[in-house]
Amino acid sequence: MSASGWAQNGQTLNTADTYISTMSSSVKIGRIFGIPIYLHLTFLIILPLFVWVFSSESLRIFGITLGFEGLDTTMAVEYAFGTAAAVIFFATILAHELAHSYVAIRYGVTIRSITLMLFGGVASMEEMPRKPGQELKMALAGPMTSLAIGLVSYVAMIFVRELAIGTVAAEGLEILLGIIAFYNVLLAGFNLIPAFPMDGGRMLRSFLATRMSNIDATRRAASVAKVLAAAMGVFGIVFGNIFLIFIAFFVYMGAKEEEQATVITESLEGFTVRQLMNENVQTVHPNISVQQMMDTMMATRMMGFPVVDQGLLVGIVTLTDTDKVPKERAGMTMVRDIMSRSVVTVRPNLPASDAIKLISKRNVGRLPVVDDSGALVGIVTRKDFLRMVEIMEARRKGATWGPPEWHLQHERRQHPPPPQT
Ligand SMILES: [Zn+2]
């Protein structure tokens, strides 16, 4: 990616479905219900940590032994049990995410992927279900699954204990079941905290959304999360608990992100790229010299241009591309020699909220808009989207100013006239 913010990866976006997000810091391990399952790099740190904690711990809470340290056996066997417990625990986290996904799929939401990472799992979905009741059920499915796994494991642990077999294998199994029970109940409890990005935050939002707009519900739920995060942070600082400070930060950022994402998606609802794009694009021809291109840059104070030949977009050239050309050769080198030929582009009919997602995901400043024939029809920038979000925000707050043509277009798209019969 160049410094001036052009994506340089050939991909044209037509509908949201064609865009599959894959985090480069993740490894794909398989597919369940057709959903790709990824392991995030942070998972590689957290898994050995859990193995270590489970293997070297002998703490007892509520009659459950939380580690294999007390087993009358070798360290190797303790670590084998610890590894088994850690792997099974992460499988139960995956079950938690799959439960969310299963309900989401039933409501017609597309799940892009599930990633196991530092703080458990993350299911990435195309969009949230719109009906508050659906979101509630979807959010509840995860913690309920964890709770069910926890209770079943607890009962199984008691059963193994009552058998009183007395072998290391039986004792190890009892501890393993206890660990799975304890951490799944903990996971369910943690996720029921009514704060974003935990499931409880979504449940609170969907509850609030039954009595106010989705955007206001998200705002309220996010403020609750921020207050909880601040309280956690203060506690963490007072008691010197780094872990608590870490979680407070995670909750705060999650709440902020959720709030912003909702404001952006709701504000851009009904708009397409065509309505936001700028049609008067300064372009350059591939056969002009780098010197001429730099003169144009100077005159227009732009950092990059789409390169267009007979109306078709053939590449992108930016200020950074000129670094490759020594000053004395700038008059002889052509733009076509230094331009990037693969560019992320969008179609004019792409929903604006999908385009802004692409912009943040690729960390680019602007996207060229091309039609089906590959002809450049416009350009849309991050600023175009954010300006629109601001206008819609002002409208929501009851401001009477703002370009009237925008909300006319918006209204038309949201409330199509009834069909003539
Ligand atoms: Zn969850």
Distance in Å, CA 236 to ligand 1 centroid: 24
Distance in Å, CA 421 to ligand 1 centroid: 47
Distance in Å, CA 184 to ligand 1 centroid: 11
What end-to-end distance do the CA atoms of the chain give, in Å?
53
Domain spans of the chain, in order of start: 25-268, 273-391
Long-range contacts from 384-389, C-beta under 8 angstroms, 24+ separation: 384/276, 384/277, 384/278, 385/264, 385/268, 385/276, 385/352, 385/355, 385/356, 385/359, 388/267, 388/268, 388/271, 388/276, 388/352, 389/263, 389/264, 389/267, 389/268
Using 50, 70 and 90 to split pLDDT, how confident is the model at 4? very low
pLDDT tens-digit readout, 6-52: 333 334 433 332 233 334 577 888 888 888 888 888 777 888 888 99
Distance in Å, CA 1 to ligand 1 centroid: 33
pLDDT tens-digit readout, 360-408: 777 777 788 998 888 888 888 888 888 888 888 787 776 555 444 444 4
pLDDT for res 415 = 41
pLDDT tens-digit readout, 242-264: 888 988 888 888 888 888 888 88
Distance in Å, CA 108 to ligand 1 centroid: 18
Using 50, 70 and 90 to split pLDDT, how confident is the model at 152? very high
16 and 351 in contact (C-beta within 8 Å)? yes
User: Cβ-count burial of 238 within 10 angstroms (0-12 exposed, 13-18 middle, 19+ buried)?
Assistant: exposed
Distance in Å, CA 217 to ligand 1 centroid: 19
Distance in Å, CA 32 to ligand 1 centroid: 17
Distance in Å, CA 344 to ligand 1 centroid: 33
Residues counted in the chain: 421
What is the CA angle 12-14-20, rounded to 5?
75
- Phi/psi for 75 (5° steps) reads -65, -35
Distance in Å, CA 238 to ligand 1 centroid: 29
Distance in Å, CA 300 to ligand 1 centroid: 50
Distance in Å, CA 96 to ligand 1 centroid: 6
Distance in Å, CA 36 to ligand 1 centroid: 17
pLDDT for res 147 = 96
Q: Residue for token digits 């066997």?
A: 77
Mean pLDDT of 83-100: 91
**Cα 421 from Cα 56, distance rounded (Å):** 75
pLDDT for res 216 = 84
Domain covering 273-391, topology: CBS-domain (3.10.580)
Distance in Å, CA 92 to ligand 1 centroid: 11
Amino acid identity for residue 369 in this structure: V
Distance in Å, CA 123 to ligand 1 centroid: 8
346 and 380 in contact (C-beta within 8 Å)? yes
Distance in Å, CA 75 to ligand 1 centroid: 34
pLDDT for res 8 = 33
176 and 160 in contact (C-beta within 8 Å)? no
Distance in Å, CA 199 to ligand 1 centroid: 5
259 and 217 in contact (C-beta within 8 Å)? no
Whether the ω angle into residue 197 lies within 30 degrees of 0, i.e. cis, is yes
Range with lowest mean pLDDT among 63-67, 129-133, 183-187, 349-353: 129-133
Amino acid identity for residue 409 in this structure: Q
Closest Cα partner for 38 from 100, 107, 90? Answer: 90
Distance in Å, CA 399 to ligand 1 centroid: 38
Distance in Å, CA 207 to ligand 1 centroid: 17
- Phi/psi for 288 (5° steps) reads -90, 160
Distance in Å, CA 129 to ligand 1 centroid: 15
Distance in Å, CA 264 to ligand 1 centroid: 23
Q: Which residues contact 8 (CB under 8 A, 6 or more apart)?
A: 1, 2, 316, 340, 342, 343, 344
Query: Helices 132-163 and 199-208 sit at what angle, rounded to 10 degrees?
Result: 140
**In the β-sheet with 366-370, what is the strand arrangement from edge to edge?**
11-13, 344-346, 366-370, 376-381
Distance in Å, CA 200 to ligand 1 centroid: 9
Using 50, 70 and 90 to split pLDDT, how confident is the model at 116? confident
For the chain, counts of helices (H) and of strands (E): 13, 12
Residue 325: how many CB atoms within 10 A of its CB?
Answer: 18
Amino acid identity for residue 262 in this structure: T
pLDDT tens-digit readout, 282-308: 889 999 999 999 888 888 888 888 999
Distance in Å, CA 209 to ligand 1 centroid: 19
What phi-psi label fits residue 270: left (phi over 0), alpha (psi between -120 and 50 degrees) or beta? left
Distance in Å, CA 42 to ligand 1 centroid: 18
The per-residue pLDDT of the chain, averaged, comes to 81
DSSP-assigned letters across all residues of 13-82: ESSGGG-----TTEEEEEEETTEEEEEETTHHHHHHHHHHHHHH---EETTEE--STTSSS-HHHHHHHH
Eight-state DSSP code of residue 233: H
- Asked if the model's pLDDT at residue 103 lies above 70, the reply is yes
User: Cβ-count burial of 102 within 10 angstroms (0-12 exposed, 13-18 middle, 19+ buried)?
Assistant: middle
- Asked if the model's pLDDT at residue 310 lies above 90, the reply is no
Q: Residue for token digits 């939002």?
A: 205
